[in-house]
Amino acid sequence: MPANSRLRPGQPSPSPLRVSIVGPSDLVRVQVEADRLRSRLEGAGHVVACRLVGRGEWGAVDWRPVDDEGTDLVVVLGGDGTILRTARWMGYGQVPVLGVNLGTLGFLADFSIAEVDEALGDIAAGAFRLVDHLMFETEVIREDRVIHRVLGLNETSILAGPPFSMIEICLFIDGEVATTYRADGLIVSTPVGSTAYNLSAGGPIVRKDLDAFVFTPLSPHTLTNRTVVDSAARSYELLLPQPNEGSACVVDGGVVSGLAVADRVRVRRAQPRFALVETRQHGYYRTLRDKLQWGGGLHGAGSRAPRRAAP
């Protein structure tokens, strides 16, 4: 449970709530919806701050609580990319997030704008769940010195880059050699990131509230190199004996660093947890059914699926 939020599932929310509305300022629809939500929340007596920032400026603006007492809820307007930026923006002071999808697919930004008012009512009544998600720290180590340290939510990727020949990536688990990948790269994903780059690369979907890392090689030279899922309680290091000129470490879609000979990339569980609000309207498998069109048959059969298994 985030220490700087007063939200408690099963309990009516404290009044007033301290709510921060976050989104990209360069989208007109985000500004319109932010103004509408702010008016609704302030009309109900809550304290609201709008933090709309250009997508290229997120790293340059410090995260601030709504007031001196902190923030209870962050309403993110946008898509999954906006939520990833918000998670990095909040850093080590995570606050529960209600994700509102104004983008495309939206696994994290799960609520439509038409559902927001009902969701806020559920939160006020305590009819919600807080689902914690694994976050990780990635360190790039050169000559025994950490040159970059980044907090992430979805994945760390090691990409071969130009001249686009495969590279070797040695995986160490708690200091022990596990395997060497010969591939175009390697994705180290969290469960919440398993439906992102990992899924596109043929990796598995892992339930997002599990504490695990998913290792998926990109176009491996050896067909027996398959995805591995292992505990997040371990420390993982990736050693690159001979990277390409353009090889890079990428976290949540952003380039962290180019990689030189003998660089190591360490990935391990971070102390903060990303907390996402779910209400009775939304659950994990409903999201997968809707987003991945798991209909159970043709022509929208999923819309007629039973609400629960028969006794």
Residues assigned a catalytic role: 80
Residues 6+ apart with CB under 8 A from 68: none
Which residue shows structure tokens 């006794």? 311
What is the residue type of 128? Answer: F
**189 forms bridges with which residues in the sheet?**
155, 214
**Whole-number Å distance between alpha carbons of 182 and 220:** 6
CB atoms within 10 A of CB 100: 29
Residues 6+ apart with CB under 8 A from 157: 185, 186, 187, 188, 197, 249, 250, 251
Q: How far apart are the first and last CA of the chain?
A: 34
> 73 with 277: CB under 8 angstroms?
yes
Distances (CA, A) of 231 to 81, 190, 191, 206: 26, 10, 11, 12
Of 186, 208, 209, 183, the residue nearest 198 (C-alpha): 186
97-101 β-sheet, strand order? 47-53, 18-24, 73-78, 97-101, 274-279, 128-133
> 22 with 52: CB under 8 angstroms?
yes
> 248 with 159: CB under 8 angstroms?
yes
Exposed/middle/buried for residue 65 (C-beta within 10 Å: 0-12, 13-18, 19+)? middle
